[in-house]
Amino acid sequence: MNLVDDFLEYQAKTTPYPLGIPIDKAQGSYIYDTQGKKYLDFVAGVSACSLGHCHPKVVAAIEAQIKRYMHVMVYGEFAQEPAVALCKALVDLLPSNHESVYLTNSGTEAIEGALKLAKRATGRAEIFAAHYAYHGSTQGALSLWGTETQKQAFRPLLPGIRFIDFNVADQLEQITTKTAAVVLETIQGGAGFIVPESDYLKKVKARCEAVGALLILDEIQPGFGRTGPFFAFEHYGISPDILVMGKGMGGGLPVGAFSSSKTLMTLLEDHPKLGHITTFGGNPVIAAASLATLKELRDGPHLKEIEEKEILFRKLLKHPKIERIQGKGLMLAPILSRPELADQVILECLNQGLILFWLLWEKRALRISPPLNISKNEIEEGCDILRRVLDQL
């Protein structure tokens, strides 16, 4: 069997030109291909492998759980220790208005649940999202996509979706008593790792409170410590009504969740019953991996080191071809002068053993979202490669 040929032949793809690197194994901050080539991973499965690849504590938690039970009943029927312990640990970390957690299979599915909860709670249907947002690919989440080109081929989508510009406080007046929810990424990912300006999120929250709309923050990417605190909204002095999580929460396994007050969450239980259901959400093996990840991030040294790692990246990536570095913590996007240059840099870095990646909309950006436990030596090694490639091109 030729892995790459069979990949191209049999597995559905998302673009006509996938990278197609044949993977043999991955450990820590490194991925190895089937030819034995070693890559330093500055992308971490697009922010999913928060503790690097195959972290021993995550692997041990998975191994212990698969020996006990793997799947026994659909979500929400039986009390299963890994899922319950994960929800409890999350509630302990979250602000007091988050008392209940619904576990899902992916971030997108958690967004869908959050949208339904907001509609159910307010009896309203209008939802605001931001231009250049990304919240997932199913039809509800796709309706929130912040660019029309991506949506056109799949219309009709959800009615009642309206858009505002991220960071433009003047537009918040459009949010009214007709609005069920405002959905924002705390830090916009695909748009170029755009950080909210000083009081923007406070203003959004105040407007939502004034008109009785709910604020849903999507922390699927910046959550679970990527910017330093456990959740990025902690930087901005607010708490959302509904929080959506995913990606790094699973330590490399597929997971998502949304949390809210108990008063809101119980609305999914009745009138109608089964307001949101899933077979595998809260799966015990995945919940065990997620709990091990949460404990290591909560109790280990990693989150305290994020700020100094960000400073190191910013220091090492001073280069005439880098115009600026957007983002926060270990969610960094060096911006080059042209998209074509970014393409060349990403491909040549790959050639020289460093994995970078693209962002969805900001095509001049290089994605840097490494494992949170990446070492300073590994940061230096990767930045050396990147600077060398920038010099060569």
Q: Are 107 and 136 in contact (CB under 8 A)?
A: yes
Distance between CA atoms of 188 and 131, rounded to whole angstroms?
10
CB of 118 to ligand PLP, least distance (A): 16
Residue of closest CB approach to ligand PLP? 107
Q: Which is nearer to ligand PLP, 221 or 260 (CB)?
A: 221
Q: Which is nearer to ligand PLP, 247 or 328 (CB)?
A: 247
Q: Which is nearer to ligand PLP, 118 or 220 (CB)?
A: 220
CB of 250 to ligand PLP, least distance (A): 9
CB of 37 to ligand PLP, least distance (A): 26
Tokens of 284: 């015990």
CB of 218 to ligand PLP, least distance (A): 5
Distance between CA atoms of 88 and 220, rounded to whole angstroms?
19
Q: Which is nearer to ligand PLP, 141 or 390 (CB)?
A: 141
Q: Which is nearer to ligand PLP, 29 or 105 (CB)?
A: 105
Q: Which is nearer to ligand PLP, 355 or 385 (CB)?
A: 355
CB of 356 to ligand PLP, least distance (A): 16
Among the listed residues 354, 256, 283, the one whose alpha carbon sits nearest the alpha carbon of residue 75: 283
CB of 124 to ligand PLP, least distance (A): 22
What is the binding site for ligand PLP (CB under 6 A)? 46, 106-108, 111, 134-136, 185, 189, 218, 220-221, 246-247, 256
